[in-house]
A and B are shown apart, each in its own frame.
Chain A
Amino acid sequence: MSLMSEFSKGIIKENPLLRLMLGCCPALAITTSVENGLGMGAAFTGVLIASNMAISAMRKIIPENVRIPVYVVIIASFVTMTDQLMHAFTPALYDSLGIFIPLIVVNCIILGRAEAFANKNPIIPAIIDAVGMGIGFTLALVLVSSFREVLGAGTFLGIQVLPESAPAILMILPPGGFITLGCLLGLMNKLQKKAA
């Protein structure tokens, strides 16, 4: 496979959230505002690139039997770094994402890419794969959070777009996350079927 297709597959064809249905937990929990979605996407992409790179570099020396604990230790190191950096430089975003930054450790997309891609491929494709997947996940988060923030809070990135009385609070409550994600998944399936 060419590097270009390694990059682009994460955005539409194998979009981690909307096609592979991975990472639903953060996607449902933190998509109450576009800012959160972007912040989560950036933190996630950073960790994914670093962990894919590290795991790909060490793929020949990681013993087969204990590979999962090794991946977790590597990922946890990068998550801890990201956590500390966000705490220091973006305190507001850090507060609103809360527990979901440390929880990137157990994000199934990152572990999934490590197992499915990084431990079988050289460093350059592994990085490209991580960038594509990271952008795909970020786009999906921004898409979900755009619907939820506009409909539920009447704002987009904090800018008022709907009249004060209009927003349906339900959309930024948990049911709004399920409804939005469900509708988007259904739409993606429909489009995929049409394309095939």
Chain B
Amino acid sequence: MTTSNDLLVVTSSPHVHSPDSVPNAMRDVLIALVPALLAGLYFFRLPALAVIAACVASAYAAEIICLRVMKKPQTGEASAIITGLLLAFCIPPHLPVWMAVLGSVFSIVIAKHLFGGLGQNIFNPALIGRAFLLASFPVAMTSWSRPLDGVTTATPLSIMKEATGQALPSLSELFLGNVSGSIAETSALAILLGGAYLLYRGHIDWRIPGSFLGTVFILMSIAGWVKGAGFWYPFFHLFAGGLLLGAFFMATDWVTTPVTKLGRIIFGVGCGSLVVLIRLKGGYPEGVAYSILLMNLVTPLIDRYTRARVFGRVKSHA
């Protein structure tokens, strides 16, 4: 059978015409990222703007160059902008700009294009960029500063982990984002707004953030009860660090997460359990990035074992 383009394409019904396309979806994701972007700019000012601009520009440039060099059609460049933006969102606002550029280029070239480009990558490129930066420049990547005045200080999670005696921020400060942390992970409110928009537009499935956050909440409630920490403890873990940013914008990446409904729930529960494990027992104060990357790794396996039975087939007794 020929599939030449100049022949009339005849297909069987139903003929669905949908406005959903990759550029449209990308535009919606960008809109959803705006609240977090504004919150990040408000709290961390010019240094954050420099890091964000550098990440987005270098990710876009790297994407264009990769597509040229590999002689691929120029499609989906918007996804590179999203990758750059997400990477900027999860790194410290005072990171030297050249490091941000390096991380961004690493995300696009190594994590995305060397694995086959848009739709082929195994790992979330933005998180690979973050993991690369954290392993390469551990000091710069863990130097945090207070919002607005930029005084060096620890993040809420590291205050809790290292028990330095500093006062923990209140829940309302955590919710609004007036705490130290990566550029756009601090404001729970802004991220929830963006996440709600994506859910409303149907671009992400509630199952992943739902099971992810639910797992963290339940396990942290148990941990808080064991420690006798009280009612605020699970909420603190829900709003602190990059959990919400990861759950809504990174664990829901279309490319690197399962496609089946049950698979998505397994994925979310896995991410949530790993986050709790790393935060309570691991060496790092925060583990959202690694938890998502580890679950990215088993995504093909999850998809394989949760594949729906083909209609009319009898379940095999293999």
Contact of A168 among B96, B102, B114 (CB under 8 A): B102
Across-interface contacts of A175 in B (CB, < 8 A):
135
Across-interface contacts of B138 in A (CB, < 8 A):
169
In the bound complex, do residue B110 and residue A170 qualify as a contact, i.e. CB atoms below 8 Å apart? no
In the bound complex, do residue B110 and residue A169 qualify as a contact, i.e. CB atoms below 8 Å apart? no
Q: Which of A137-172 contact B (CB under 8 A)?
A: 165, 167-171
In the bound complex, do residue B136 and residue A171 qualify as a contact, i.e. CB atoms below 8 Å apart? yes
Across-interface contacts of B135 in A (CB, < 8 A):
169-170, 173, 175
Across-interface contacts of B110 in A (CB, < 8 A):
179
Across-interface contacts of A182 in B (CB, < 8 A):
114
Closest partner residue, chain B, to A182 (CB atom): B114
Across-interface contacts of B136 in A (CB, < 8 A):
167-171
- In whole angstroms, how far apart are the Cα atoms of A183 and B106 in the complex? 13
In the bound complex, do residue A186 and residue B137 qualify as a contact, i.e. CB atoms below 8 Å apart? no
B203-215 vs A, CB cutoff 8 Å, 1 = contact: the mask equals: 0000000000000
Q: Is the interface of A mostly helix, strand, loop or mixed?
A: helix
B93-137 vs A, CB cutoff 8 Å, 1 = contact: the mask equals: 000100000100000001000100000000000000000100111
A165-196 vs B, CB cutoff 8 Å, 1 = contact: the mask equals: 10111110101000100110010000000000
In the bound complex, do residue A170 and residue B114 qualify as a contact, i.e. CB atoms below 8 Å apart? no
- In whole angstroms, how far apart are the Cα atoms of A119 and B46 in the complex? 69
Q: How many A-B residue pairs have CB under 8 A?
A: 20
Across-interface contacts of A183 in B (CB, < 8 A):
114
Contact of A169 among B96, B102, B137 (CB under 8 A): B137
Q: Chain B's nearest CB lies how many Å from the CB of A173?
A: 6
Q: Chain A's nearest CB lies how many Å from the CB of B117?
A: 14
Q: Which of B10-64 contact A (CB under 8 A)?
A: none
Closest partner residue, chain B, to A166 (CB atom): B98
Closest partner residue, chain B, to A183 (CB atom): B114
Q: Which of A106-156 contact B (CB under 8 A)?
A: none
Closest partner residue, chain A, to B136 (CB atom): A168
Across-interface contacts of B137 in A (CB, < 8 A):
168-169
- In whole angstroms, how far apart are the Cα atoms of A182 and B114 in the complex? 10
- In whole angstroms, how far apart are the Cα atoms of A127 and B150 in the complex? 66
- In whole angstroms, how far apart are the Cα atoms of A173 and B135 in the complex? 9
- In whole angstroms, how far apart are the Cα atoms of A35 and B102 in the complex? 27
Across-interface contacts of A168 in B (CB, < 8 A):
102, 132, 136-137
Across-interface contacts of B114 in A (CB, < 8 A):
182-183, 186
- In whole angstroms, how far apart are the Cα atoms of A183 and B114 in the complex? 9
Q: Chain B's nearest CB lies how many Å from the CB of A194?
A: 13
- In whole angstroms, how far apart are the Cα atoms of A186 and B137 in the complex? 27
Across-interface contacts of A170 in B (CB, < 8 A):
132, 135-136
Across-interface contacts of B102 in A (CB, < 8 A):
168
- In whole angstroms, how far apart are the Cα atoms of A165 and B140 in the complex? 10
- In whole angstroms, how far apart are the Cα atoms of A175 and B111 in the complex? 13
Q: Which of B150-193 contact A (CB under 8 A)?
A: none
- In whole angstroms, how far apart are the Cα atoms of A167 and B99 in the complex? 10
- In whole angstroms, how far apart are the Cα atoms of A179 and B114 in the complex? 10
- In whole angstroms, how far apart are the Cα atoms of A37 and B136 in the complex? 22
- In whole angstroms, how far apart are the Cα atoms of A52 and B176 in the complex? 71
Q: Chain B's nearest CB lies how many Å from the CB of A180?
A: 11
Closest partner residue, chain A, to B138 (CB atom): A169
Q: Chain B's nearest CB lies how many Å from the CB of A178?
A: 11
Across-interface contacts of A171 in B (CB, < 8 A):
136
- In whole angstroms, how far apart are the Cα atoms of A173 and B132 in the complex? 11
- In whole angstroms, how far apart are the Cα atoms of A119 and B132 in the complex? 47
- In whole angstroms, how far apart are the Cα atoms of A23 and B168 in the complex? 52
- In whole angstroms, how far apart are the Cα atoms of A3 and B138 in the complex? 52
Across-interface contacts of A169 in B (CB, < 8 A):
135-138
Q: Chain B's nearest CB lies how many Å from the CB of A124?
A: 43
- In whole angstroms, how far apart are the Cα atoms of A87 and B165 in the complex? 51
A9-44 vs B, CB cutoff 8 Å, 1 = contact: the mask equals: 000000000000000000000000000000000000
Q: Chain A's nearest CB lies how many Å from the CB of B248?
A: 28
- In whole angstroms, how far apart are the Cα atoms of A186 and B115 in the complex? 12
Chosen A-B contacts, 16 in total, with CB atoms closer than 8 Å, are A165-B96, A167-B136, A168-B102, A168-B137, A169-B135, A169-B136, A169-B137, A169-B138, A170-B132, A170-B135, A170-B136, A171-B136, A173-B135, A179-B110, A182-B114, A186-B114
Besides A167-B136, A169-B135, A175-B135, 9 other CB < 8 A contacts? Answer: A165-B96, A168-B102, A168-B132, A168-B136, A168-B137, A169-B138, A170-B132, A179-B110, A183-B114
| Chain B residues close to A by CB (< 8 Å) | 96, 102, 110, 114, 132, 135-138
Q: List the 6 closest pairs (A to B, CB-CB), nearest first.
A: A168-B136, A170-B136, A170-B135, A169-B136, A170-B132, A173-B135
